[in-house]
Chain A
Amino acid sequence: MALREKIESGRFVVTAELGPPQSCNGDVIRKKAVHFRDGIDGVNITDNQTGIVRLSSIASAKILLEEGIEPVIQVTCRDRNRIALQSDLLGAAALGIGNVLCLTGDHQRFGNHPESKGVFDLNSVQLIATVERLTEGFFLSGERMKKAPDFFIGGAANPFADPLEFRVLRLAKKIRAGAQFIQTQPVFDLGRFGKWMEGVRKLGLHKKVAILAGVMPVKSAKTLHYMENEVPGIRIARETIRRMEEAKEPKEEGVKIAVETIRELRRMEGVRGIHLMPLMWENITPRIVEEADLLDR
């Protein structure tokens, strides 16, 4: 069953995130993919995240398809204008890729080519509308195409960046533009996430879109400090940092926190799935999936 059907059938779904290598070595993807075999319904392929050049997300997705894993390609507006975006999306559809996550993209200033020109011809809301338009069989120009691609359209949400009220409003915009599923930034602060979900439920948005909450297992307190100080728009609860700092075995504690977070999120009304982001720690995925009882859903 495809990711779209699983979500539409009301099943609690689990997706994971995979970063392609900074080289042309496709075996890296095959090796990482092994960890995403059991209990994972879809694997996101990042699109040159943080502005660092990596193997293309569409090519990586093709490799995953060959491995029998369902990919979700991330598409950002940083590097391509509307012509290239539409062309790449058609290419992805021709290769059999059915899920797209539409993002604005990190600013190029954070990457390894900070002097490059950011395109940002569209933004994430408009990109969602663009993909929807393609699935209806039209280009942005209004011209009709012979065969329309079939995409399951996703968007991102960051419940942790300010201002909180605007975050809900922006989610509503993405849904109106055509988003069918939403993946959030990693939850390290359940309190804040709960507040955001409250706003979402108040507008009934959770009934219109499947919200998959992000969970990122971390290896050490150092990673948490890095996330808090260097990654914009991330919020971490004091309690989580304290637990990681005081833990004798930080890795074990990291797994424990991730599993507890997943359990809490699963109980929350309106959360329809989990999006795992085991950054540089892909091999922990099977353990977390098992310990959080996500294997038989």
Chain B
Amino acid sequence: MVDKDPVVRIVTLEKKKPTRLEKFLSQVMLFLENVIKVPLFRCQRCGECILSHTAFVCSQRCPKRLRNGPCGGVGEGGTCEVYPERQCVWYLIYRRARLLGRISLLNRIEKIHNWNLEKSSAWLNVFTKRIEPPVFFIRRRDQDGTERED
């Protein structure tokens, strides 16, 4: 069984005034993310990055901003139900995840989004432990994505 708490755990932003160093870091990180993540992954700057779980395709491009998999309206060949001229991002995620052997990460139940983090720097949020660090490597035995009873 998966621990239920992570789904609903929310870390709110500290109320204390940010130091000058933090302000500076935040600006640098945001700049870097804007020039790297936005063009590369079409990052939507949710501040709670799960790119590493979703095979490096930004799930927040979904019109419903789904974080836990595709809705029931995906058409044949993976068209989006809301904008039929677009591809469903979750369809892309699934294809990419299979290619990269990262299906097992799709099994994770993503936490409820913390809107306080919207438009903040996800990288800074990782360092300040507001969000979980990205997962880069997965064990070979987990790459096929079959669930195992632990």
User: CB within 8 Å of B: which residues of A?
Assistant: 82, 104-107, 109, 118, 120-126, 129-130, 132-133, 140-142, 156-158, 161-163, 165-166, 169-170, 172-173, 176-178, 185, 203, 232-233, 235
Contacts and interface: CB of A to CB of B under 8 A. Distances in A.
Contacts, number: 117
A140 B8 CA distance: 6
Contacts of B106: 166, 169
Given A132-B4, A177-B7, A166 B69 contact: yes
Nearest to A185: B72
B112 A126 contact: yes
Contacts of B2: 176
Nearest to A161: B74
A169 B7 contact: no
Contact of A120 (B64, B75, B107): B64
Given A162-B75, A177-B109, A107 B4 contact: no
B68 A162 contact: no
A178 B69 CA distance: 16
Contacts of B37: none
B81 A140 contact: no
Contact of A121 (B82, B95, B113): B113
A25 to B, nearest CB: 30
Contacts of B65: 120
Contact of A126 (B7, B73, B81, B115): B7
Nearest to A81: B115
Contacts of B66: 104, 120, 123
B10 interface: yes
